[in-house]
């Protein structure tokens, strides 16, 4: 597609439920990133994919968080047993090869509210 | 020490003046540096990137990099009300093969008409 596409754009869920957030990167981009941004805060790195593998998943806050990427394209971020502190906007981004100097482009985000 | 530090602001600048945004980083091996603009409720959008020491100009925007001082800045000339946003500084992690960008918390800029 023309840009990074994320779904759902908004999600309200009850505490304890699982949620899945989807990201469809820019066509041809091999690198895919998940960031989290809480209200009024900066971007917190979660995980990075190069192709289908995740060289850096150091930012995942707990074992309730997991992510996968299949076919070198779409990625899913799953949050199990959601907690109120998980409320944030989850931003996906993609970039082409390393030679592109890490110019990454963001989707519009998935706004998650845990009640 | 945070990896990427910015003054959170708010920074208020009169319309038509120069806005100066600053950022310092802790990893001396960092190679590439980015400025993103984020309007309230929107996702970040890339404004400029810079790799080499010195200045890089693009329209009303100038990025300045000083690797010795671990300092990168963004100047906005002839500031417009539409420039009011949060500006995020981002730095490439220096580890080979790790393409992660580390972001600062952003500086909120308000242009006063």
Q: Given CB atoms, is B98 within the 8 Å cutoff of chain A?
A: yes
Instruction: Determine the Cα–Cα distance for residues A62 and A82; give it in Å rounded to an integer.
Output: 11
Share of chain A above pLDDT 70, in %: 94
pLDDT at residue B36 tops 90:
yes
Most confident of A27-36, B14-23, B42-51: B14-23
Predicted pLDDT at B32 = 87
Asked if residue B94 lies in contact with residue B30, where contact means CB atoms within 8 angstroms, the answer is yes
pLDDT at residue A48 tops 80:
yes
Min Cα distance A23 → chain B (Å) is: 14
Q: Residue A64 burial (CB < 10 Å; 0-12/13-18/19+)?
A: middle
Q: Given CB atoms, is A56 within the 8 Å cutoff of chain B?
A: yes
Rounded mean pLDDT, A58-66:
92
Predicted pLDDT at A78 = 98
Residue of B nearest to A109 (CA): B43
pLDDT at residue A115 tops 90:
yes
Q: Poorest-confidence range of A2-6, A34-38, B15-19, B90-94?
A: B90-94
pLDDT at residue B2 tops 80:
no
- Are B103 and A31 inside 8 Å of each other by CB? no
Instruction: At A86, give phi and psi (nearest 5°).
Output: -80, -10
Rounded mean pLDDT, B73-100:
85
Residues of chain A found within 8 Å of residue B99, distances taken between Cβ atoms: 31, 48, 50, 95, 98, 102
Rounded mean pLDDT, B71-86:
97
Instruction: Return the structure tokens found at A26.
Output: 């820019």
pLDDT at residue A102 tops 70:
no
Query: For all residues of chain A together, what is the average pLDDT?
Result: 90
Predicted pLDDT at B94 = 57
Min Cα distance B56 → chain A (Å) is: 16
The larger pLDDT score, comparing residue A109 to residue B98, is at A109
CA dihedral A75, A95, B44, B63 (to 10 degrees): 160
Residue of B nearest to A49 (CA): B99
Asked if residue A93 lies in contact with residue A108, where contact means CB atoms within 8 angstroms, the answer is no
Residue B110: C-alpha distances to residues A10, A40, B14, B76 (Å): 28, 15, 8, 12
Q: Which of residues 67-106 of A touch B (CB under 8 A)?
A: 91, 95, 98, 101-106
Residue of A nearest to B87 (CA): A42
Q: Residue B112 burial (CB < 10 Å; 0-12/13-18/19+)?
A: exposed
């Amino acid at each position: 597609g023309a840009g990074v596409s994320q779904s759902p754009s908004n999600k309200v869920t009850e505490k304890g439920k699982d949620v899945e957030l989807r990201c469809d990167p820019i066509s041809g981009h091999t690198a895919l990133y998940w960031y989290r941004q809480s209200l009024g805060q900066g971007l917190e790195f979660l995980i990075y994919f190069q192709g289908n593998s995740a060289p850096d998943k150091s930012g995942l806050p707990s074992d309730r968080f997991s992510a996968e990427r299949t076919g070198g394209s779409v990625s899913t971020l799953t949050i199990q047993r959601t907690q109120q502190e998980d409320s944030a906007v989850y931003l996906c981004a993609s970039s082409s090869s390393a030679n592109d100097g890490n110019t990454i482009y963001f989707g519009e985000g998935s706004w998650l509210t845990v009640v | 020490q945070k990896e990427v530090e910015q003054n959170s602001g708010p920074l208020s600048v009169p319309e038509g003046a120069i806005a100066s945004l600053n950022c310092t980083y802790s990893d001396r091996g960092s190679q590439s540096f980015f400025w993103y603009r984020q309007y309230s409720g929107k996702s970040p959008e890339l404004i400029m990137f810079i790799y080499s020491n010195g200045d890089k100009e693009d329209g009303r925007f100038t990025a300045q990099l000083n690797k010795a001082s671990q300092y990168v800045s963004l100047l906005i000339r002839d500031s417009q009300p539409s420039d009011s946003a949060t500006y995020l500084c981002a730095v490439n992690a220096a580890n080979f093969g790790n393409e992660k960008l580390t972001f600062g918390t952003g500086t909120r800029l308000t242009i006063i008409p």
